[in-house]
Structures are given as structure tokens and as C-alpha cells.
Amino acid sequence: MDDANGHPGRSDRGPVSRRTVLRAATVSAAALGTAGLTASPALATETATTADDRAPRPGRRRVPVDQISIQLYTLRDQLAIDLPGTLAELRRIGYRRVEHAGFVDRTATEFRAALDTAGLRATSGHVEIPQPFDPAAWERTLADAVTVGCRYVVQSWFGMGPDGLPLRDPQAYRQFARDLDQAGRMAARAGLRFGYHNHHLEFVPLTDGRTGFEILAAGTDPRRVHFELDLFWTWRGAQDPVDVIRAHRGRIRQFHVKDIDWLGNFADLGDGMIDFGRIFDRGGEAGVEEYIVERDDAGEAPRQPADALETARKGFVYLSSLRY
């Protein structure tokens, strides 16, 4: 579904659907090793804890409430049913900022008005840079982001070939890195920060032995392109987020905070096995400025649209009460 200005929304983009991503996870298992796609007992023991062990623990550090956000893709079905009511409920939960994924069949101006009425700010938004790169089309996307009030615009996806399989061609990643760099340069001129959001495909070994994530990092200017590190998908890519932070100090401005269960599926924050305190302890080293709650399968069977609000509530309570 496109937004009112003809820009692609996330909700039914074929290659970005959860089903497509999870199919790709299965296909790429051989390349990554199964530990990156399902939580084996050995992986769980080394890198995560049980839900009981992960209750908010005593500590002197906390996630600033004003840096807690939620990716609205989590509530896509609920927003389609009742945009103003859902936004108002997010504010009642305690959220002050959100990350949009399209404008729910509104113009950028109309969407901004709905946010203002609810007392929310869309400080970030998921977008798609045109492929092949089209500066005029990208300028329109940036203008919408400014209208909505974003500080960040984030490329939400890359890594799937036209055959539905993970890209293994280093040249494809090198070309895309050049497009990201150009997009970041234009975003900076518009007063916006431009980022890239990972899934697990960027960690699949390519034909030259490197990973797509390595190529994107090396091929873009850190001043123009930062990373929005998705903690769930990083684990599914057989990577420890702490190692990624160490390798890219100061460049990870945003976290997508989502939990993973013992089977490698999505879980509400606090119900899975990721030790977020261990990762957040590196937040200063990462450069992180936003902690964004997300659950990709909210509203998909057997879950119901209303379950997304419970995901949102649990996420906010977990992050605002966590001490590490």
C-alpha cells in the first residue's frame, strides 16, 4: 500500500514482509550456520538469559524515557482501524516519540496533524531510497520527512535478490553503498540524519567472503550514514550486537529493540532471552540516541491487531524500568 503521496508504505511491500524475510532466513541457514537462525542451547547459554533472569535488575543506568520510541509497523493493523485512537493510546502508555513506516493513507501534513493531536513526535521514519537512484524522488521523500517532523530517515531494507534469495554479489552491495552515501548527503542538506536498518541478510557471507554489512559500512561516509541496529535480526544473523557495536563505535544512532524466543521467533520485550542491559551498557560507545520498540509479527495470525497495543505497553514498561 502506497501512502497518499505515492511513496511505498511498509505494510504490504512484498520483499519486506515478515513471511519473505523468514523464508530468506531459512534459505540462508546453510550460509550462516543454523546457530544464527534458531537459538541453539549453546548459543542461548553463551549470549542470552532466561526470561526469569532478565527481570529489570538493580543498576545505576537507565534508558531515558524521552529516547524510547516505537516503530509503528508494529501497530499497522490497529492504525488502519483507528489511527487517532491508537496514537492516543500510545501517548497514554507513555510514549513521546514514534518511528513511522508510511503515513496510513494520509498525506504527510495529515499524518503530522494526527501526531500533534495525540501529543507524539515522529522523530524517525522508515523509507526506501529509489532504485535506481532518483534524486528528484528522494527529494520528495525528504520533504515529507521534514513535514512530519523527523530527525532521522532510515532505509529499511536491502539484501534480497530478484529470485527471492539472499544477495551474494559484492558488487550489488558496493553499488547500493554508493546510493546510500548519495542519499545521506542529500538528507544532510535537508537537515536530516540518514540511517540504514539491518535484517539478517546483510550478515550472509558473499562470494568474496565478506558480508554485505561490512561493505555497506566501508562504502559509506560515517558522517552521512549511520546504522539503526536491529537487535533481533542481528542475533538471527549469527552476530553478537556487542561485537557489532565495538566494530562501529559512534555509528549506531538507533536500536530496534525486539526480543527473541528459544525457537528464534519474535517475542515481546521481557518474554524472550536477549540480555538488553548487556547491550545497552555499550550505548555510549555505540552513539545510540533512540531505543525503538518493534515486533514484526504483531497483528499476524494467531496474534490479533489489539495484541500490538499489549506489545507496545510491555515494551515501554520494560525499557522504562530496566536498570543496568
Residue 256 sits in a domain whose CATH number is 3.20.20.150
Q: Output the pLDDT for position 137.
A: 98
Distance (Å, rounded) from C-alpha 25 to C-alpha 63?
Answer: 31
Residues 6+ apart with CB under 8 A from 92: none
pLDDT confidence tier of residue 295, bands split at 50, 70 and 90 = very high
Is 5 contained in some domain?
no
Mean pLDDT of the chain: 86
This prediction's pTM: 0.86
Tally of domains within the chain: 1
Residue range 114-172, pLDDT digits in tens:
999 999 999 999 999 999 999 999 999 999 999 999 999 999 999 998 898 999 999 99
Is 292 contained in some domain?
yes
Residue range 26-43, pLDDT digits in tens:
444 444 443 333 333 333
Which domain covers residue 170, as residue numbers?
A: 14-51+61-321
What SS3 state is found at 268? Answer: coil
Is 2 contained in some domain?
no
Is 3 contained in some domain?
no
Do you know the residue count of the chain? 324
Phi and psi based region of residue 53 (left: phi greater than 0; alpha: psi -120 to 50; beta: remaining):
alpha
What SS3 state is found at 257? Answer: strand
Distance (Å, rounded) from C-alpha 241 to C-alpha 11?
Answer: 27
